[in-house]
């Protein structure tokens, strides 16, 4: 009888994990086309608009292309570590979602040290970057890995310091408790405004987004730690990076904007609202790339005009 319940428990966890991972992968895939379409609008061009209706199948085409491409191992690379590094990066980005609450009681692991858990995984993701640069047996990859490691370590300290006021104010490391504190009082964005801005800047640096994209400066210094990767191994780095961006955006909204329980729409439809609240933090990730363009906001309103370039 115990074996029967144990098997059911294992199957339940497997189904729950699959139900979390598959929507997350689809979210990452369609986030890439959202980024490319928004950047195209800001730069007064169309972006992807060929594969599927309005270009919506472009992420699927890109994913299939990376899956069928050959995985090339450098001759003198350390093959086991070369393969493990991108898998580790992608796996750690998925583990962050274990403590993100979608609604009350709807969390894979509602632990009391949720913030500390996310900080620990953020520190461990550093090893995927270092190992990939070292195992490639290329001086360019090694230098890129060292650049990325130095930047990630530096801004993790700043992120930790920005989280301390939230922890002191709410008196808890549990993400659900932090949301309930804002429900009963005021959202932390107004109470801790300077720390919210600093945290957003640190998140940009932690996820290697412009203007902190030195570890991935393709044009200037020959890419970085993922220079020697191809095929699906490269896609794992890509998925891990974009997964971290969505996690950090969700964390930003939970810590400073009340999460799913503050706004009226979120209180009525928490799971549906949780699917959209990372957009508050995600959009500035690619909007700030094009901040140098004049009248970039107005370009959204002329996106479908005839003056756009295909």
- 144, 215 Cβ separation under 8 angstroms: yes
Neighbours of 171 (CB within 10 A): 10
Q: Which residues pair with 309 in a beta bridge?
A: 45
| Counted domains in the chain | 2
| Type and span of the H or E element at 303 | none
- What's the pLDDT tens digit per position in 84-135? 999 998 888 888 888 888 776 677 778 888 888 988 888 888 888 888 888 9
Angle at 209 between CA 206 and CA 197, to 5 degrees: 65
Residues 143 and 10 in one domain: no
Residues 145 and 263 in one domain: yes
Tokens of 233: 């191994």
- 104 compared with 76, residue with greater pLDDT: 76
Residues 86 and 169 in one domain: yes
Domain of residue 86 covers 74-277
Angle at 169 between CA 166 and CA 175, to 5 degrees: 50
Which residue, among 227, 16, 47, has the nearest Cα to 142 in the 3D structure?
A: 227
| Type and span of the H or E element at 284 | helix 279-287
- What's the pLDDT tens digit per position in 169-216? 888 888 888 888 888 888 888 888 888 888 888 888 887 777 777 766
What single-letter DSSP state applies at residue 74?
Answer: P
Angle at 273 between CA 271 and CA 277, to 5 degrees: 120
Residue 128 falls inside a structural domain: yes
d(CA 179, CA 171): 12
Angle at 131 between CA 126 and CA 137, to 5 degrees: 145
Residues 132 and 153 in one domain: yes
Residues 134 and 163 in one domain: yes
Question: Is residue 235 predicted with pLDDT exceeding 70?
Answer: yes
Question: Is residue 300 predicted with pLDDT exceeding 60?
Answer: no
Tokens of 72: 């090339």
């Amino acid at each position: 009888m115990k074996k029967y319940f144990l098997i059911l428990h294992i199957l339940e966890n497997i189904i729950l994990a699959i139900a979390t991972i598959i929507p997350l992968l689809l979210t990452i895939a369609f986030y890439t086309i959202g980024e490319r379409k928004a950047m195209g609008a800001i730069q007064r061009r169309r972006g992807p608009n060929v594969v599927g209706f309005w270009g919506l199948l472009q992420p699927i085409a890109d994913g299939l292309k990376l899956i069928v491409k050959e995985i090339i191992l450098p001759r003198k690379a350390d093959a086991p570590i070369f393969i493990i590094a991108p898998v580790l990066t992608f796996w750690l980005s998925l583990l962050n979602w274990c403590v993100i609450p979608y609604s009350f009681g709807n969390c894979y692991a509602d632990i009391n040290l949720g913030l500390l858990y996310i900080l620990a995984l953020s520190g461990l993701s550093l090893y995927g970057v270092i190992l990939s640069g070292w195992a490639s047996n290329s001086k360019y990859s090694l230098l890129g890995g060292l650049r990325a490691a130095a930047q990630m370590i530096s801004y993790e300290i700043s992120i930790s310091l920005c989280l301390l006021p939230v922890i002191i104010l709410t008196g808890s490391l549990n993400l659900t408790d932090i949301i309930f504190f804002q429900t009963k009082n005021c959202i932390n964005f107004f109470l801790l405004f300077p720390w919210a801005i600093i945290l957003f800047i640190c998140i940009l640096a932690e996820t290697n987004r412009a203007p902190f994209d030195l570890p991935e400066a393709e044009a200037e210094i020959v890419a970085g730690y993922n220079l020697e990767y191809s095929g699906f191994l490269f896609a794992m780095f890509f998925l891990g990076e974009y997964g971290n961006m969505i996690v950090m955006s969700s964390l930003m909204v939970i810590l400073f904007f009340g999460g799913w329980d503050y706004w009226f729409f979120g209180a009525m439809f928490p799971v549906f609202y949780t699917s959209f609240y990372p957009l508050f933090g995600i959009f500035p990730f690619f909007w700030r790339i094009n901040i140098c363009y004049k009248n970039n906001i107005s370009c959204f309103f002329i996106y479908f005009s005839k003056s756009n370039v295909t």
